[in-house]
Structure 1
Amino acid sequence: MTFEYLLTSFVVILLPGTGVLYTIAIGLGKGLKPSVAAAFGCTLGIVPAALASIIGVAAIFHSSALAFQVLKYLGVAYLLYMSWSILRSGGALEVSGEKRERTLSRTALDGILLNVLNPKLSLFFLAFLPQFVSLDSGNATSALLLHAFIFMVLTFIVFVGYGAMASLARDYVINRPNVMAWLKRGFAATFGALGVKLALSDS
């Protein structure tokens, strides 16, 4: 494990993506505990992509246009669903009195699906992890698993930080309906734009 890997991973995780946006939206709308559930879900959603890159399944998606397109459009559909979910009554940015247990589990599940249905995540790991591990060594698989695990730990820590900052701003936001309305539109538009971008991408 090198400092370069830790630094590169940290920078990559800090960059705003669907997981970051989702965790921030949950932090603003529901508070700290649900944002931790969102961060946990997004982190768990990394597992299939990391394992796929390690065992080489990601190469199949890279070489099979049909497999990639199927997963891509499932991802597009889910991003558009998330856009609608934010705007609807009771969505991620809606302050409500739902039962905590069901809310946390559903929040985590949405986070998992956001990353599982992201076909580019497996390709990212396929290109990213081998750069920091000697694939000629006898322990290459163990080293790749360790690097993927560290990436997930960093993801969870950073996402919890994003969610905590969003939850701190929650009291300011929820007492200003106009601000909340614009935030809902902004997050919904962002998820919709990400869905359209993914649909139009060639790879």
Structure 2
Amino acid sequence: MIDQTTLITYLAVLLGFVFIPGPAVLLTLARASSGGTRVGIATGLGIAVGDLIHTAMVVLGLSAVILASAFLFNLVKYLGAAYLIYLGIRAILEKPHVEGLSTAPRITPAKALKQGILAEVLNPKSAMFFLAFLPQFVNPANGAVALQLTILGVLFVAMGLLSTVTVAISAGSVGSFLRRNPAIFRWQGKFTGAIFCALGVRLALQEK
């Protein structure tokens, strides 16, 4: 089991990570502002599921295999970048439904959940982060390494989910206001799409 001092230090470091605006927060913000609170929360849940998958990959050693191969790393990276840019272009080109704004959601929570999972899983930087970050707080003398990695990963996911849900609730309220104002609403999809495209380009240009 992880000792108390290590656990407290880990949680303190996590606070800084999860509440600093990053790709997960920006994705949730974009979805919540355009689709509402439920869509934003679904996006956050999708990202959390993706992070659980990354945790499992670290425990099983799969992340190390991907990161050790330049081909696999670039393959996953460009697939993830292409997916984000695809979502961005769709959002930019989509024509907003000005009539009945309050009753015509632009994306369902189920679809947002799936997109959140894919966007996070297809981000090799997330795999690299988990592989490099979690082991720093593991001590073999404290017991099974796999169990320690699992606990650390689950704690990260829980705090990350708290962060994205907070953002979703806040942005969802703002989104409701925007959808009641057609002039602003017409540009909302383009703003959301621009965020997705920017995240995709950022991912494509990043190196190991």
TM-score of the pair, normalised by structure 1: 0.87
Q: In the aligned structure 2, how far is the partner of 1:27 from the partner of 1:189?
A: 15
Shift in CA distance, 86/17, structure 1 to aligned 2, threshold 3 Å: farther
Deviation (angstroms), 1:145: 0.5
Instruction: Report what 2:170 is aligned to.
Output: 165
Deviation (angstroms), 1:32: 1.7
Instruction: Report what 1:64 is aligned to.
Output: 69
Deviation (angstroms), 1:111: 0.7
Q: Does 1:54 align with 2:59?
A: yes
Shift in CA distance, 25/196, structure 1 to aligned 2, threshold 3 Å: closer
Amino acid corresponding to residue 202 of structure 1 in structure 2: E
Unpaired segments ≥5 residues, structure 2: none
Q: Does 1:17 align with 2:22?
A: yes
Deviation (angstroms), 1:202: 2.6
Aligned pair count reads 200
Q: In the aligned structure 2, how far is the partner of 1:115 from the partner of 1:96?
A: 29
Q: Does 1:117 align with 2:149?
A: no
Retained in 2: the 8 A contact 1:21–1:187? Answer: no
One of 139, 143, 148 as aligned partner of 2:144: 139
Retained in 1: the 8 A contact 2:32–2:172? Answer: yes
Where does structure 1 differ by over 6 angstroms across 4 or more consecutive aligned residues? none
TM-score of the pair, normalised by structure 2: 0.85
The share of aligned pairs that are identical, in percent, is 31
Q: In the aligned structure 2, how far is the partner of 1:22 from the partner of 1:45?
A: 13
Retained in 2: the 8 A contact 1:83–1:192? Answer: yes
Unpaired segments ≥5 residues, structure 1: none
Q: In the aligned structure 2, how far is the partner of 1:29 from the partner of 1:191?
A: 12
Shift in CA distance, 142/88, structure 1 to aligned 2, threshold 3 Å: same
User: What is the root-mean-square deviation of aligned Cα atoms in Å?
Assistant: 2.4
Deviation (angstroms), 1:19: 2.1
Deviation (angstroms), 1:182: 4.2
Amino acid corresponding to residue 118 of structure 2 in structure 1: L
Deviation (angstroms), 1:189: 2.2
Instruction: Report what 1:202 is aligned to.
Output: 207
